[in-house]
Amino acid sequence: MAQAHKLDCEAAESDCRFIIQSENEEEAIELARNHMHEEHGKEFSDEELQTEYLQVV
Ligand SMILES: [Zn+2]
């Protein structure tokens, strides 16, 4: 069974219900980075997103 990479934005931004889930880690990171930038005005590096926020499910 393929693993999926998941970002639950609520863990980072308590009022946000945005969830990303993708089997492609690069895609998950890119979507997460775009979301953080566009919705929250925050910049995270790929590494920060990968280590701090992405979960493997
Ligand atoms: Zn969010």
pTM recorded for the entire structure: 0.86
Question: What is the pLDDT at residue 1?
Answer: 67
Coil, strand, or helix at residue 41? coil
Residue 12 CA to ligand 1 centre (angstroms): 7
- The torsion angles phi and psi of 15, rounded to 5 degrees, stand at -95, 0
Structure tokens at 5: 């990479």
Question: What is the pLDDT at residue 7?
Answer: 93
Which of 22, 16, 21 lies closest to 40 in space, CA to CA?
16
Residue 2 CA to ligand 1 centre (angstroms): 25
Residue 7 CA to ligand 1 centre (angstroms): 9
Q: Give the model confidence (pLDDT) of 6-48 as tens digits.
A: 999 988 788 999 999 999 999 999 999 999 999 999 999 999 9
Residue 40 CA to ligand 1 centre (angstroms): 6
Considering only the C-alpha atoms of the chain, give the largest distance between any 2 of them, rounded to a whole number of Å.
35
Structural domain boundaries in the chain: 6-56
Residue 19 CA to ligand 1 centre (angstroms): 8
